[in-house]
Amino acid sequence: METERQKFYKHKIKRISISNKDDKSSVIDESDTSKSTVTILGSTSYHKQVNDLSIINSNNIDQQPETLFGDRIDLNYESNFYANTVDEVTNMTDENIPDDLNDRDVNINEVTIEVEREYQEEIDKPEVTEIERTISNDSLQPTITDIIPEKDMDILRKSLEDDNLDDNVQLIQTADDNPIRKKNKRVGVKKSYVDFLSEDDDFAWDSTSWRETDDSSSDQDDQVPTKKKKTSIKDGKVGDAGLKKKRTNKKKVRKDARSKGVQYVKADGSIVKERNMKPNPCLKKNCPYKCQEITSEKRSAIFKHFWELSPERKKQWIISMSSKQSIKRKRSKDSNYRNSTFCYFINDGEGRRQVCLKFLMNTLDVTQRYIYYTLTTQELGMAKEDGRGKCIPPNKTSNAIKESVKSFIKRLPAIPSHYCRKDSTKLYLPVEFKNIKNLYRCYKEDLISKGVDVVSEKVFRQIFTTDFNIGFHVPKKDKCIKCLRFEGQKPEDCAKFQDHLEEKKASKKRLECHRQLGKENPSILCTSFDLQKVLNTPHGNNMLLFYSRKYAVYNLCFYESITRNGFCFIWGESEAKRGANEIATIIQKYIENVDSRGTITSLILYSDSCPGQNKNKIVLATIHNALLQSNNLQAIQMNYLLPGHTEMSVDSIHSTIEQSVRNITVWAPSQWATISQLARKEPAPYNVENLTHEDFLNFDDMSEKYFKGNLVGKISKIRTATFKKSHPNQMKVKFSMKDNASEEIIQIIAKPRAINRRYNTSLPITKAKYMDLKKLCDTGVIPKIFHKEYINLQHCNSKDVLLDTDVEDTVEENDY
């Protein structure tokens, strides 16, 4: 609900807008029906100007509006707003304000009245903008929250406060004369980032967007809020605070307390009292066994010994201290009440002494029922085993249903790891199964269709993890091995961990800078490339495809940061492998493509540090050889990112392709080229090239003794490798991406050698895989139009292995 004060000022603003409609020279459009707005300027930057500004011209008194106090006040306003006077200020004296209003604690700091255009046809006129009138009085301050709701005050203060503006904020003048604040985004470019350029190359260092910055400014921009440090132990020892808190098993606690005879609380909240030895019932009685003569110390020793035994041994003690005898006489010849009686004993020295039943019950604090049940259920002198918890529940999963789960898992295709099979016997399921949850969904759909009962997901997961040594194939690890090894340690406490974090930060800054270099200099191109995970074919969610081995399709992708061009080179496992020679062949193809454009002189390449594919002397020798054969390229730099921190722009191509096939089935390897090309529409489709075994070259002979020393002991540590046409016999390498990293020159001693084809014929697949694919064709699962692609595949009796490594990159032990 609006307060009286809000109503008062709204009424006053309304009268001002109405009066201006009659003035034809006013800048207010007469057809505008928009509401007038009131803005409170409460920032401290305006307080100094309050005394110089007045509120209302005392010469024009219109009427006396009623105040919120019930009084009337002479407040005058200007009836005409002129187009050339946007912030017209009039004067107001203290005698215009009644005494009763001055005496009250009412203080408005500043009020800005804005009257906007009203008629639609006048909106586009540039001279008609807005009208602001400022009302100021030092004696009216605490009423700001009464005029404008409290929820809008924080927004107003933030928008109007200009005392602490950032230094990098600039005002952009727009067409409607409303300036917009924009923060300059400055990217620090250091000479170490453009080390691929020659000394005589011209680069715009004095550009406003690209300029060399010192370490202090760049470090300040990258500052992130630090986490709150945990309080450490004062004495530096583990102490009791380091003990792991175990979860209390209340049921087990009650069971132990009942066995020891101590007090405990039942599950329903009732209290069971502690067991205590009761008085001797034979005192002052003529007991035939003279139990009254047994001392209290003797009874206490028996009581204590009995309740220290386990429940099974308690029953066994009662059986050993009793004997079964036939009754001496019967009261009736036809009575079958009982045919035997029990005699009870206690230890007495080395022998035994007979006691009565009541004495034994009071001494042990047990019931007669407990003793009779133990003696009557014994078998061959042994107490009956406790049957609690050993009954088969009615909802327990039967063994037959569990066997159906095991049979389903055994039928799944699994292969050992190619890189880890010498150290582990673990098998891996194809990547299509994803995880246990998805595998359970496949199991459920398969068995329900056959009319077989299924187990719950919990039982399925338990059988999968406990009875089988299998897992789901993950091509690359998402976490860094070093970060995992140093997990839980503080960077400041470990110099190696601190150095690793600094290297990670430097790599990220270098990659980000190279991505943006093309905007300033079009002759520089930054490209990242990576091999997509294996595209198993046929690919889809069809249940009939889950039990068969798949044909592997490989896709090496290149992504250019500025041009946003994407390149996909696709081949199958029957055409070639995916080692260093295959990767080097495609890199050479891509360099030739870049050189043919004629505008690129410097090429920057980024990849992960996988030694079997990217980080090896074959790839480095191929890059240098391609640079010497190019016509326009002058420099090529190869950058290797840290293992575990290989986030690159090329990953977007992989994600786009995987998203496009999420809900479709890919039946044949030939479909992947079309799918990859049409996966993206904006800004342009990907450039796709299908490769055969005739396209791949063998660089083994060329790369042998290509570099001086053959890069022994250095190849695993290289972070950047720079080749310049101006220095054809040198490769400049850095072992770190930090700004102060030193540069080492490695001589190139290669001699011209012929480069031959890598393969003369296509490669065979395993016989087991061929039979699975042939079965899918024979049963009609794969459409007939694609049968020739599988039937014509060569096959042999070799063993099928998982070609993908389960560890992303190898890490040298001496790095730690």
Tens digits of residue pLDDT in 116-135: 444 444 444 444 444 334 44
The structure tokens 């096959």 sit at 795
pLDDT of 266 higher than 60: yes
pLDDT: which is higher, 636 or 13: 636
pLDDT of 4 higher than 60: yes
Q: Which residues constitute the domain of residue 405?
A: 399-472
**pLDDT of amino acid 107:** 42
Q: Which of 126, 160, 194 is the last residue of a domain?
A: 160
pLDDT of 522 higher than 50: yes
Tell whether 416 and 540 lie within a shared domain.
no
**pLDDT of amino acid 301:** 94
Contacts of 338 (CB under 8 A, 6+ apart): 327
Contacts of 665 (CB under 8 A, 6+ apart): 538, 539, 540, 541, 542
Residue 679 lies in a domain: yes
The structure tokens 């800005």 sit at 112
Q: Are 614 and 640 in contact (CB under 8 A)?
A: yes
Q: Which of 710, 735, 757 is the last residue of a domain?
A: 757
**pLDDT of amino acid 18:** 60
Tell whether 297 and 417 lie within a shared domain.
no
Tell whether 515 and 449 lie within a shared domain.
no
**pLDDT of amino acid 1:** 55
Q: Are 634 and 664 in contact (CB under 8 A)?
A: no
* CA 640 – CA 615 distance, rounded (Å): 8
The band of 426, judged by pLDDT with boundaries at 50, 70 and 90, is confident
Can you say whether the dihedral through the CA atoms of 724, 729, 733, 739 is positive or negative? negative
Contacts of 345 (CB under 8 A, 6+ apart): 321, 322, 323, 352, 353, 354, 355
The band of 348, judged by pLDDT with boundaries at 50, 70 and 90, is confident
**pLDDT of amino acid 811:** 43
Tell whether 95 and 44 lie within a shared domain.
yes
Nearest 5 degrees, angle CA 122-CA 123-CA 126?
90
Max mean pLDDT range (148-152, 484-488, 683-687): 683-687
Q: Which of 454, 472, 490 is the last residue of a domain?
A: 472
**pLDDT of amino acid 424:** 62
Tokens, residue 31: 């057809």
Can you say whether the dihedral through the CA atoms of 194, 200, 202, 206 is positive or negative? positive
Least confident of 242-251, 258-267, 477-486: 477-486
Tens digits of residue pLDDT in 376-389: 999 888 888 888 77
Tell whether 506 and 570 lie within a shared domain.
yes
Tell whether 416 and 369 lie within a shared domain.
no
Residue 812 lies in a domain: no
Residue 142 lies in a domain: yes
Tens digits of residue pLDDT in 531-564: 998 898 998 877 778 778 889 999 999 999 888 9
Tell whether 434 and 534 lie within a shared domain.
no
Does the model's pTM come out above 0.85?
Answer: no
Tell whether 514 and 444 lie within a shared domain.
no
The band of 423, judged by pLDDT with boundaries at 50, 70 and 90, is low
* Rounded average pLDDT over 334-358: 85
Closest CA to 590 of 606, 567, 613, 607: 567
Q: Are 585 and 570 in contact (CB under 8 A)?
A: no
**pLDDT of amino acid 190:** 67
Least confident of 309-313, 515-519, 621-625: 515-519
The band of 633, judged by pLDDT with boundaries at 50, 70 and 90, is very high
Tell whether 567 and 687 lie within a shared domain.
yes
* Rounded average pLDDT over 459-481: 76
Rounded CA Rg of the chain: 45
On the CB side of 27, CA atoms within 13 Å amount to 18
Tokens, residue 41: 């300027």
Tens digits of residue pLDDT in 386-416: 887 778 888 888 888 888 898 888 888 776 6
* Rounded average pLDDT over 661-684: 90
Tell whether 135 and 30 lie within a shared domain.
yes
User: Which ranges of 81-184 would DSSP assign to H, the alpha helix?
Assistant: 99-102, 144-147, 153-160
Q: Are 196 and 636 in contact (CB under 8 A)?
A: yes
Tell whether 518 and 381 lie within a shared domain.
no
* CA 263 – CA 267 distance, rounded (Å): 13
| Average pLDDT taken over every residue of the chain | 74
Q: What percent of the chain has pLDDT over 90?
A: 32
Residue 717 lies in a domain: yes
* CA 722 – CA 726 distance, rounded (Å): 12
Count of domains in the chain? Answer: 4
Cβ count within 10 A of residue 491 = 14
pLDDT of 31 higher than 60: no
DSSP 413-455: --EEBTTTTTT---EEE-GGG-SHHHHHHHHHHHHHHTT----
Contacts of 308 (CB under 8 A, 6+ apart): 260
* CA 592 – CA 630 distance, rounded (Å): 7
Residue 681 lies in a domain: yes
Max Cα–Cα distance, the chain, nearest Å: 136
| Alpha carbon separation from 67 to 58, 130, 149, 658, 745 (Å, rounded) | 18, 28, 19, 69, 86
Residue 210 lies in a domain: no
Residue 173 lies in a domain: no
Tens digits of residue pLDDT in 179-198: 544 444 444 566 667 766 66
Tell whether 364 and 505 lie within a shared domain.
no
The band of 93, judged by pLDDT with boundaries at 50, 70 and 90, is very low
Residue 222 lies in a domain: no
